[in-house]
Chains A and B, each alone.
Chain A
Amino acid sequence: MPVSKTPPLIAVVDDEESVRIALRRLLRSASLDVETFPSGTEFLESLKTHEPDCVILDLRMPMIDGFGVQARLKEAGIRLPVVMITGYDSAETHERALAGGASACLRKPVDDQILLNAITTAMARTLETGAPSE
């Protein structure tokens, strides 16, 4: 767990507003700070000003999908904890997400505890592996 006093900032990227609102509520109920983005492009744009502590990425989105965002992050050399969520996935997409650097790939509907645990784990992992680069 982060030791900073301010709660961690979690970014939610999903093309569907109802999902964004629901996830924001859930994360806020766990005392996390939340910012939401309707598309991958807008999220990548926001990284120019600040970086969140973790990003929850929807896999299927128009224009740039979850994999696309993952790839851009890698290209830009940004190491962010990524939790991928998807409405329907095959074993193949699951593996691809993990191979692309996501620390978890969860299927909707996702249980609160599992999601929160995945976020915690993702952030912890990035801290460990990412510490030398900082």
Chain B
Amino acid sequence: MSWVTIIWSMVATACLTLAAVHLLVWWRQRKAWAHAVFAPLAVATTVVAACELWMMRAETAGEFGKALRWFHVPGWMLVVSLVGFVRLYMRAGRPWLAWAVCGMRTLALILNFVFTPNLNYREITSLRHIRFLGESVSVVDGVPNPWMLVGQTSLLLLVVFVVDATLTVWRKGDRRQALLLGGTMAICTVAGTGITVLSLWGIIHAPITTSLCFLGMIVTMGYEMSVDVLRSAQLSLGLRESEERFRQVAETAGEFIWEVDAKGLYTYASPSVEKLLGYTPKELVGKKHFYDLFVPSVREEMKAAALQVFANRQTFRDFPNSNVSKSGEIVHLETSGSPVLDPAGNLVGYRGADMDVTARKQSEEELEQHRNQLAHLSRVSMLGELAGSLAHELNQPLAVILSNAQAAQRFLAHDQTDINEVRDILADIVAADKRAGEVIRRLRVLLKQGEVQRQPLDVNEVVQEVLKMMRNDLVNQGVSAQTELAPDLPVLHADRVQLQQVLLNLVMNACDAMAGAPRDDRQLTIRTGLAGDGSVRISVCDGGAGIAPGKLEQVFDAFYSTKPHGMGLGLPVCRTIVTAHGGKLWATNNPERGATFHFTLPVNGKGQGEVARRGALA
């Protein structure tokens, strides 16, 4: 065996093996096009090596010429796949240069088959044997073909293309790849083509050994790509571990962990969903949108709200939503989620978790119910205290009606009928009757134990209404009432009856507090205005003895009362009402005399128990 045969066979085998390996990699990862391009590059080098060996072993000038002619086929393949590799793997190189290199090389290949014996020689004059690596190999002398410049221009362009691509990679910051890959490619291309060009022009007398140079390049490339393959293998191992970790967490967590696509269709559902909603993950994934489970009455509204969040790619926390389980029960969930984006920033879907808050919601609703019952009871007992005042309110119009009617009867009986007088009498009766009806309506509203109805209302109007109801009591107790109502207050969302109840309570307390005060001091002032935090503040100010400094908070305790017959429930109930509306109730002492009770109500009306309808839970 000679060295030449050993080395060239090894080059060919090595390149073929690398080609096979990377073809396999590409087979497994169809998107890894760099591997697909690397395979023909290595195959081409193998064939180049074979053709070189053929030339070195050529017996005649004709055989040499034939071998050189076929040498151009793998040569073309090598150049084209190298250009492809640079574009696909290094993601660099100017496209127009790439096209120029490939075009020129293809032209050279065509010309190679047009001319005889080949592109490089017009005529091969003689075949000689020279010593190379300790043995005799064939080289030729002949008349160079000037068209050979086409092929050599393509090689020059290839060098320019590779160097340019390397500089681009360097500038992008990947200096290692630029140095190792770009540098090797540039040196190998220059050396490989340089030796060939020089020997073809007869400047040096040596056999064509391009494949040796390209082997170096292919090994470097192969190494680079193997490192990549190894790294991605490690990444996929890490990914599998983290997937496993996620799966375990998802399966053991009590919360329902989910993923949906950009349209809201489930792409993943953790097994715990079955406990929460009765559906198995299989029944949801790919089949249901998250909004398909919302209760029908609010489905469209909630779907729109959720999709708005999707459109803005917002992360959301504790979004309350009511769902219907597979068996038809209402399940209250609180959902948190964050958007999943692709590398380009497009919304792929959402990922998050749902927590079952049904039990909490139920107990909240029960609490709300109890609170309303208590408020009602306290209202009824308060009306007992107001009975005198209310009876007077009612008896007054009744007295007017009776006296007017009897006066009319008597006029008619005595034939003193003045038709105008009778007309006036009837008008007065109608007005008094309406007034009596109004009193009864107000009373009925207060006594009714209905559901809490948050409705838009004007605080100042409610204050006036309460003062009207209390008028007689105020007169009776010698209290003069004043109002300082801020105009243009925002509309509140509150339960009218409960708000009246709070005000009635505070006004009654104020009257009681002033019972022992001199008549001139019995001044009641109700103020309304905006509080600093955007809520509306209502203050009831009395001219009584005030509250002992240590007891400003104690007055809100249940069963705390300073009145001989007081139950001590008025203020605590008022406080729960105000708190349920999202506001605050507190007391202060006035600088001169008396105390002031203040309460605030938020303008947006958000408080607990927004859905306090009895029987809302099916």
Whether B411 contacts A29 by the Cβ 8 Å rule is: yes
A109 to B432, CA, bound (A): 12
Q: Is B414 among interface residues, defined by CB-CB distance under 8 A? A: yes
Whether B403 contacts A25 by the Cβ 8 Å rule is: yes
CB contacts (< 8 Å) of B391 on chain A: these are 87-88
CB contacts (< 8 Å) of A26 on chain B: these are 403-404, 406-407, 410
Number of interface residues of B (CB under 8 A): 31
Q: Is A79 among interface residues, defined by CB-CB distance under 8 A? A: no
Whether B388 contacts A25 by the Cβ 8 Å rule is: no
Whether B396 contacts A28 by the Cβ 8 Å rule is: no
Whether B407 contacts A29 by the Cβ 8 Å rule is: yes
Whether B410 contacts A112 by the Cβ 8 Å rule is: yes
Whether B403 contacts A23 by the Cβ 8 Å rule is: yes
Q: Please, which residue of chain B has its CB at the minimum distance from the CB of A90?
A: B388
Q: Is B431 among interface residues, defined by CB-CB distance under 8 A? A: yes
Q: For residues 363 through 398 of chain B, which have their beta carbon under 8 Å from a beta carbon of chain A? A: 387-389, 391-393, 395-398
Q: Is B199 among interface residues, defined by CB-CB distance under 8 A? A: no
A76 to B398, CA, bound (A): 34
Q: For residues 10 through 40 of chain A, which have their beta carbon under 8 Å from a beta carbon of chain B? A: 16, 18-19, 21-23, 25-26, 28-30
Whether A60 contacts B475 by the Cβ 8 Å rule is: yes
Whether B392 contacts A22 by the Cβ 8 Å rule is: no
Whether A108 contacts B398 by the Cβ 8 Å rule is: yes
Given A60-B472, A87-B391, A109-B399, also A22-B404 (CB < 8 A): yes
Q: For residues 48 through 89 of chain A, which have their beta carbon under 8 Å from a beta carbon of chain B? A: 60-62, 65, 85-88
Whether B476 contacts A110 by the Cβ 8 Å rule is: no
CB contacts (< 8 Å) of A21 on chain B: these are 428
Q: Please, which residue of chain B has its CB at the minimum distance from the CB of A89?
A: B388
CB within 8 A of B476: which of A28, A60, A85, A111?
A: A60
A110 to B401, CA, bound (A): 10
Whether B407 contacts A28 by the Cβ 8 Å rule is: yes
CB contacts (< 8 Å) of A18 on chain B: these are 396-397, 400, 428, 431-432
Q: Is B244 among interface residues, defined by CB-CB distance under 8 A? A: no
For the complex formed, measure the closest distance between the CB of A19 and the CB atoms of chain B, giving whole angstroms. 6
Q: Is A107 among interface residues, defined by CB-CB distance under 8 A? A: yes
Contact-residue size bin, chain A (C-beta under 8 Å from the other chain): 20 to 34
Give the residue among A16, A62, A111 with the most B Cβ atoms within 10 A. Answer: A62
CB contacts (< 8 Å) of A111 on chain B: these are 402, 406
Whether B475 contacts A62 by the Cβ 8 Å rule is: yes
CB contacts (< 8 Å) of A30 on chain B: these are 410
For the complex formed, measure the closest distance between the CB of A94 and the CB atoms of chain B, giving whole angstroms. 13
Q: Is B425 among interface residues, defined by CB-CB distance under 8 A? A: yes
For the complex formed, measure the closest distance between the CB of A79 and the CB atoms of chain B, giving whole angstroms. 27
Whether B475 contacts A112 by the Cβ 8 Å rule is: no
Whether A87 contacts B392 by the Cβ 8 Å rule is: yes
Q: Please, which residue of chain B has its CB at the minimum distance from the CB of A85?
A: B399
Q: Is B421 among interface residues, defined by CB-CB distance under 8 A? A: yes
Whether B421 contacts A25 by the Cβ 8 Å rule is: yes
For the complex formed, measure the closest distance between the CB of A123 and the CB atoms of chain B, giving whole angstroms. 19
Whether B475 contacts A19 by the Cβ 8 Å rule is: no
Q: For residues 70 through 128 of chain A, which have their beta carbon under 8 Å from a beta carbon of chain B? A: 85-88, 90, 107-112
Whether B395 contacts A88 by the Cβ 8 Å rule is: yes
CB contacts (< 8 Å) of B389 on chain A: these are 88
CB contacts (< 8 Å) of B392 on chain A: these are 60, 86-88
Given A87-B391, A87-B472, also A109-B410 (CB < 8 A): no
CB contacts (< 8 Å) of A109 on chain B: these are 395, 398-403
A37 to B31, CA, bound (A): 104
CB within 8 A of A25: which of B396, B404, B432?
A: B404
CB contacts (< 8 Å) of B402 on chain A: these are 109-112
A86 to B395, CA, bound (A): 9
CB contacts (< 8 Å) of A65 on chain B: these are 476
Whether A29 contacts B399 by the Cβ 8 Å rule is: no
Q: Please, which residue of chain B has its CB at the minimum distance from the CB of A30?
A: B410
**A18-B431, A109-B398 given. 16 additional CB < 8 A pairs?**
A18-B400, A19-B396, A19-B400, A22-B404, A25-B425, A26-B406, A30-B410, A60-B472, A62-B475, A65-B476, A108-B395, A108-B398, A109-B401, A110-B402, A112-B402, A112-B406
Q: Which residues does B use to contact A, with CB under 8 Å?
A: 387-389, 391-393, 395-404, 406-408, 410-411, 414, 416, 421, 425, 428, 431-432, 472, 475-476
Closest 4 A/B residue pairs (Cβ) = A87-B392, A108-B399, A29-B410, A25-B407
